Amino acid sequence: MADYHFGIEIEVIVEPHKIRTPLSTKHALYYSKLAASLRKRGLKAKADDLQQGYNKRPEHYDKWWITKDGSLGSHTDKIPMEAVSPVLSLRANWEHNWEHEIDVFWTAMRVVFHMPDRSLLCGSHIHVSKGLNQTFSLSQVKKIAFGVVYYEGLILQLLMRERANNRYCKQNTLNSTQLMRCNGNFNAIAELIKSAKSTTALKNIMQNDRYVLWNFDNIVPGSSGTIEFRGGRCLRGEIRTKRWIAFTIALIQALLNMASFIKYF
């Protein structure tokens, strides 16, 4: 398997073990407590101080970034937040093993907070790239794009119902004017995807906006080159976190190597 690089965004609503009141004004404090807990266990981490609103993305994806997520709403008795991982490598050595990184993250979380709520507001997003400073070729992205449409129905069956019918991760076939015109005809969809002359054109085929199950916004020139899976469930521990990462990467790998697509491509 290729040395895919990836990152995960984990949305949670949590209650601290030790509550400083009023909790509604202490979000930045608890972000910093989690970042400190991560650093204490050997991971790089930084917290958003919320002094100028909040930043969804860190300056560099070289550490855990703990910040606010506006979609999680306001809470007076809990801390809503998003944890953005550093770029992780599928084939890194043990010292920087991605599974170990995820395990340590959740250990650090449990030191500061109780188990996250089972909230329908929370989800997880996984970004995957071909490798460090590498991008998928146009032909590779076309295969992935066709595959996620071809298997969309099966993928939806794997998701929690609330993620399969979520306004932040709509089916690509229902949030793309161009795909909708194909009326589910896979030959027409294949021809449409093959007609894309650039990654920008392909992105415009796959979605009207970024709130889709498979977000291709970042494949365009000047962006990170990642494909984002936005259908991940509310995560509350390391086991399911690792499973959803493995699912996303394994599916992309399978689509790139699927012989059954030959008749379409």
Whether 93 has a pLDDT exceeding 70, the answer reads no
Q: Is 146:190 a contact under the CB 8 Å cutoff? A: yes
Report the C-alpha gap between 180 and 195 in whole angstroms.
Answer: 16
**Model confidence pLDDT, tens digit, residues 193-203:** 999 999 999 99
Q: What is the mean pLDDT of residues 134-147?
A: 96
What is the three-class DSSP state of 73?
Answer: coil
% of the chain with per-residue pLDDT over 90: 81
Q: What is the mean pLDDT of residues 86-90?
A: 93
* Neighbouring-strand partners of residue 67: 82
Whether 2 has a pLDDT exceeding 80, the answer reads no
Q: What is the pLDDT of residue 92?
A: 65
Q: What is the mean pLDDT of residues 204-215?
A: 98
Pairing of strands 79-84, 64-67: antiparallel
Report the C-alpha gap between 86 and 257 in whole angstroms.
Answer: 28
Q: What is the pLDDT of residue 64?
A: 97
**Residue 31, token pair as written in the block:** 């972000």
Report the C-alpha gap between 56 and 66 in whole angstroms.
Answer: 9
**Residue 222, token pair as written in the block:** 């000047």
Q: What is the pLDDT of residue 260?
A: 74
Whether 94 has a pLDDT exceeding 60, the answer reads no
pLDDT band at 132 (very low <50, low <70, confident <90, very high): confident
When the pLDDT of each residue in the chain is averaged and rounded to a whole number, the result is: 93
Is the model's pTM score more than 0.85?
yes
Q: What is the mean pLDDT of residues 107-132?
A: 96
Whether 100 has a pLDDT exceeding 60, the answer reads yes
